[in-house]
Chains A and B, each alone.
Chain A
Amino acid sequence: MAAIEQIAMNPQADEASSAPVIAVRDVRKSFGSQSVLNGVSLAVSRGETLAVLGRSGTGKSVLLRLIIGFDTPDSGWVRIHGQNLVGMSLDKLGEVRLKMGFLFQHAALYDSLTVEQNVGFPLQHQRKTMSAAEQRDRVRKLLAEVGMDGHLDKMPADISGGMQKRVGLARALALEPDILLLDEPTAGLDPISSAEIDELILKLQSEHHMASIVVTHDLHSAKTIADRLILLNEGTVVIEGSFRQLQQSDDAFVMEFLKHS
């Protein structure tokens, strides 16, 4: 939390090289009368993976949506590379999102496009100077990286949930982002597929050195892939630290969460 405090005192501080790539300060978000986030702060640096844990409906995915700019916080701010997303135009947000990759909970592959076309979509729209052959090579390299190079012409409906997540991951990496946001990467997968996805995320992390936030309720997965964890309850951060610190906590909610995970 020290980095966050530093940014709060000096807004220009996050431009320094040691500053966090993602900084969220005291964000609050309500939908109608339902308050979802009640002042959440976090910071993630390059090469670091933060897992956001919590029960269903505690605002984990909403937090991720605020960080990529799909939603706007009612108060507080979200800075990506020092740029505040709050109040930013759609085109300007687009420029910031070029540096971000997002894996959706259900992969969100374009169902009218093949696996190859799905991964090629960001390149087709954002790398117009790349030739078709270069784009094809890049797509195939990405799909090989996630072990899906044998399924180029398949439609999303014809592959399993785990495979869809892999393709979604390849698509998220297409623009070589330095931020990776993962929404429940192992949700709905069998234990073996979950472990494979975890291994894949670890491998990609070590190769690409991105700042990552993983939203999950899978404690085992969080323990495997994250450097640091935060636990949300009723829209606030209950605890932040390593998995060991989480285990050593005497907070009733933390103990309850660990007991049932």
Chain B
Amino acid sequence: MSERVSSLATGIVAKPPEREAALDSSTLAPSKSLLTEFLEWFGELAIFSWRVARAAVTPPYEFRELFRQLDEIGSKSLPLVALAGAAIGVVLSLESRQSLTRFGAKSLLPAALVFSIIHEIGPIITALVVSGRVGAGIGAELASMKVTEQIDAIEASAVNPYRLLAATRILACTLMLPLLTLAADLCGLLMGWVALASVEPLSFHQFINSGFSGSGFSDFLPPTLKTAVFGLIIGLISCFQGMRTRGGAAGVGRAATSSVVLSSLFVILADVVLVKLIIILFP
């Protein structure tokens, strides 16, 4: 099913022989089967989420593993996220300057930069970068543990793998995404100003004053906090795809790919819903 969903996401649909036979005999049956598989995948995800949630709130708590994951997911993603944020800041600054100058609105450039980076570009770029780095890592690691029976070995030691492996990774992703987003925002704004200051005289103080004028608390907090939902999605999908893997090395590869594809897809879909919600709740 995971392969099916990831295939849909990437547009690559591999048809196994039995599926081709079914397509020949009836056009209705395969679409039914696809729907069933799709619903099954969501059903399994719901059961997995429930098990993880229950394991996460009941003792014993795996603090040591949580701190290890906070470091693995947070600290080790920081350079990549900061670099991506900085690059986007420079590109956005250069592109926006040209467009706004054409429409005689060059004075709005700092505000446009601050608004676009903090509202949308910073959160989504961070989520996609983390989805690529961390999603693939979690998916491959847990899938590899699954196919080599290491997850069974954890269970055999009377340790709940949902608590030790999944809850800690999902919580670490949820906690670290907003902090990484702040870092991406900061680097983006800083490099956006550097790019701007390299072509016209503008102090950082002026840039910040102009950029943040007329903005309130509600302009910045909800877009940053929504990334916690992105982190939850990345952690949940990656752990789920990893822990349900079957089929040796090929299965590990599929789990890593589907973790990235599905978590990126669901992050983008969630962004649509969250942006609408933020606009309604914080007009």
Contacts and interface: CB of A to CB of B under 8 A. Distances in A.
Interface string B140-170: 0000110011101101111110101000000
A94 interface: yes
Contacts of B160: 90-91, 94
A91 B160 CA distance: 7
B155 A97 contact: yes
B158 A122 contact: yes
Interface residues of B, number: 18
Contacts of B155: 70, 94, 97
B156 A97 contact: yes
Interface in B62-98: none
Contacts, number: 63
A125 interface: yes
A195 interface: no
B158 A108 contact: no
Contacts of B51: 90
Q: How large is the interface on A (under 10, 10 to 19, 20 to 34, 35 or more residues)?
A: 20 to 34
B149 A104 contact: yes
Given A108-B148, A110-B150, A111-B150, A102 B156 contact: yes
A257 interface: no
Residue among A68, A94, A95, A175 with most chain B CB within 10 A: A94
A134 to B, nearest CB: 18
Interface of A: 68, 70, 90-91, 94-95, 97-98, 100-102, 104-106, 108-111, 121-122, 125-126, 128, 171-172, 174-175
14 contacts: A91-B58, A94-B158, A97-B157, A102-B156, A104-B149, A109-B150, A121-B157, A122-B157, A122-B158, A125-B157, A125-B164, A171-B157, A175-B157, A175-B158
